[in-house]
């Protein structure tokens, strides 16, 4: 393996790549310090480069984690994510969210094609000290390998000092 560098300003804690039908790569980034959710499209090959980007949501607060998974069991990949906020610090309320994504038209689709669903909210930060926030990473899973449909979602509580299992 030798390193290739593809740069975009903003991505922080976590990002989720997905191959697109046209041979490019979508990289979805919940931006912790940029406090937004963005997507970058990367042309692959000998000299990969970012060919475009857009903000999906600029009001999420501290974006934290994301996974590309079929959240609703309809056969199409969605984006599952969390924010990592603390309302005591003036941040927006933390959420676990899912987006229906227009994978075939990420850069030109109208904003209304990015349909957001809030799956959970109201995470109370109980951990003492500076820079505590919640929730942590969501982990989609199926209890049995042969299961299909909607995944269960185990959620690290992080600053809530708990683990939350399962969300459906």
pLDDT tens for 108-154 read 999 999 999 998 887 777 777 776 777 878 888 888 777 778 888 88
Q: What is the pLDDT of residues 57-89, one digit of tens each?
A: 998 888 888 999 999 989 999 999 988 776 666
With a cut of 70, say whether residue 168 has pLDDT above it: no
With a cut of 80, say whether residue 16 has pLDDT above it: yes
Res. 1 pLDDT band, cuts 50 70 90 = very low
17: which strand partners? 27
CA angle 114, 10, 58 (to 5 degrees): 40
Mean pLDDT of the chain: 83
**Higher model confidence: residue 154 or residue 22?**
22
pLDDT on residue 27: 93
pLDDT on residue 101: 97
pLDDT on residue 6: 53
Pick the closest to residue 94 from 155, 41, 5 (CA basis). 155
Pick the closest to residue 83 from 109, 106, 57, 50 (CA basis). 57
pLDDT on residue 98: 95
The pTM assigned to this predicted structure is: 0.85
With a cut of 80, say whether residue 13 has pLDDT above it: no
70: which strand partners? none
80: which strand partners? 67, 98
């Amino acid at each position: 393996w030798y390193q290739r560098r593809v740069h975009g300003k903003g991505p922080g804690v976590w990002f989720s790549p997905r191959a697109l039908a046209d041979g490019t790569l979508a990289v979805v980034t919940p931006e912790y310090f940029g406090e937004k959710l963005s997507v970058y499209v990367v042309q692959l090959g000998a000299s990969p480069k970012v060919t475009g980007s857009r903000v999906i949501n600029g009001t999420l607060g501290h974006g934290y984690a994301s996974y590309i998974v079929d959240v609703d069991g309809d056969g199409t990949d969605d984006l599952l994510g969390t924010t990592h906020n603390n309302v005591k610090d003036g941040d927006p309320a933390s959420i676990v969210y899912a987006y229906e994504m227009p994978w075939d038209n990420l850069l030109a689709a109208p904003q209304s094609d990015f349909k957001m669903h809030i799956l959970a909210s109201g995470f109370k930060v109980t951990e003492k000290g500076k820079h505590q926030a919640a929730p942590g990473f969501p982990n989609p899973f199926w209890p049995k390998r042969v299961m299909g449909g909607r995944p269960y979602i185990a959620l690290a509580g992080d600053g809530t000092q708990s683990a939350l299992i399962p969300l459906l």
